[in-house]
Amino acid sequence: MTRIFDRALRHLATALVIVGIAAAAPHPVHAASTSKKTVCSTCGTIRDIRAIEQEGEGTGLGAVAGGVAGALVGSQIGQGTGNTVATVAGAAGGAYAGHQIEKKVRKTKHYEVVVKMDNGSTRIVKQNEEPAFAIGDKVKVVNGKLQPR
């Protein structure tokens, strides 16, 4: 009877070892969870927003208008040769000032938004209006425009 009891005890110990190994073994993983996550090709995070000011081009209208105004002011100064010098100097100064004013009036401003895409690439989105997003915002880039994610 002791033999039977010893044999039963060994079988029980073997069964406990097998159960312990099975419990410690990693659980099988389903095929769906082992596949790589699909990376959104249009998704990213804003890393930088830069305001770019570009000086305007002068068309000559500012120089002409400034020159005329400067000549009129200069002609009011002095008499004789002094008047002529003042008129010429006023015209030249006015033309320069008018040209500079026209360039300032015609300057443009646009924004470059740097987006670090989820796939690791970087894209720069240019837009004329100030972005409605901030650095760190999650966005989508669709047809060259930013959209919330």
Calculate the CA dihedral of residues 134, 139, 141, 144 and round it to 10 degrees. Answer: -20
- Highest mean pLDDT, choosing among 13-27, 82-96, 107-121: 107-121
- Residue with the bigger pLDDT between 60 and 8: it is 60
Q: List the chain domain ranges.
A: 2-31, 41-56+107-149
Work out the mean pLDDT of the chain and round it to a whole number: 78
Tokens representing residue 22 in the block: 């099975």
pLDDT digits (tens, 9 = 90+) for 104-144: 777 889 999 999 999 999 999 999 999 999 999 999 999 99
What is the per-residue pLDDT for 7?
67
What distance in Å separates the CA atoms of residue 133 and residue 141, rounded to the nearest whole number? 12
Tokens representing residue 136 in the block: 């760190």
Mean pLDDT (whole number) for 86-91: 73
CB 70 within 8 A of CB 92: yes
CB 44 within 8 A of CB 118: yes
The whole-model pTM stands at: 0.50
Fold of domain 41-56+107-149: OB fold (Dihydrolipoamide Acetyltransferase, E2P) (2.40.50)
3-class secondary-structure state, position 86: helix
